[in-house]
Amino acid sequence: MQHPAVPDLSHTHTRPIHWVATATALAGVVALSSVLQPDAATAAQTPAPVPKSASAPVAPPDPADVAFPLECGPVEAVVQRKASGDLDGDGRPETVAAVHCDAPMGTPPDAVYVVTRQTEGGKPRVVATLVSPEERRTVTALAVRGGVVHTTLLGYSSPDVPSCCPDVTDDVKWQWKNGAFVRDTPSQARAV
């Protein structure tokens, strides 16, 4: 029986001198690496972006800072009611304001406006009119829930009904759909 030919590799047999040489080389590498350190990092760290859900809430626009498209003559327009919420799903709240002329006598009709601002800190502006003063309505309730504007409106069954005495109540909702506020009035108005 023949054995395969295996070369005599004398360098594969370890002797004490090999261990001394290996230990010396390793110690030299460790010592040299502690002397030759790279320079300290000087690049500025970029903070990770803050997720939208973790950012601070955006304040809704204040209707007191808006010039409403309401003709009041010598008296001022006054915000009677307001409610805020994200109506269009962009993560920024809008404010819905019921506004009327601050008349010294009578019951001036309300107008309902949607107020927004393009950027945080930007000037608020009217972007939609939900109820115009020509409709002769009085807002008795205003809320924003789940992106939907809810109102209770008092009105008149005919032009013969005096302004002092509305005789119809409507619960009306508006919701942002396909780039516009869509009005949803339940089946029928109630008599007051």
Which of the pair, 112 or 13, is modelled with greater confidence?
Answer: 112
Q: What pLDDT does residue 20 have?
A: 53
Task: Identify the three-state secondary structure at position 96.
Answer: strand
Q: How confident is the model at residue 107 (pLDDT cuts 50, 70, 90)?
A: confident
Using CB atoms within 10 Å of the CB of residue 120, give its burial: 0 to 12 exposed, 13 to 18 middle, 19+ buried. Answer: exposed
User: pTM of the entire structure?
Assistant: 0.67
Measured distance CA(1)–CA(11) in Å, rounded:
28
Q: How confident is the model at residue 7 (pLDDT cuts 50, 70, 90)?
A: very low
Q: What pLDDT does residue 79 have?
A: 96
Q: Ranked by mean pLDDT, which of 41-50, 58-67, 114-123, 168-177 comes out on top? A: 168-177
Q: Which helix (H) or strand (E) holds 101?
A: strand 94-101
Q: Ranked by mean pLDDT, which of 25-29, 38-42, 101-105 comes out on top? A: 101-105
Q: What pLDDT does residue 36 have?
A: 54
Q: Ranked by mean pLDDT, which of 2-11, 36-45, 87-96 comes out on top? A: 87-96
Query: Domain limits of the chain?
Result: 58-191
Q: What pLDDT does residue 117 have?
A: 87
* Torsion angle, alpha carbons of 127, 133, 137, 139, to 10: 40
Which of the pair, 147 or 49, is modelled with greater confidence?
Answer: 147
Of the listed ranges 124-128, 144-148, 150-154, 164-168, the least confidently predicted one is 164-168
In tens, the pLDDT along 43-74 reads 444 444 444 445 667 889 999 989 999 999 89
C-alpha atoms less than 13 angstroms from C-alpha of 47 in its C-beta half-sphere: 3
Q: Has residue 130 got a pLDDT over 80?
A: yes
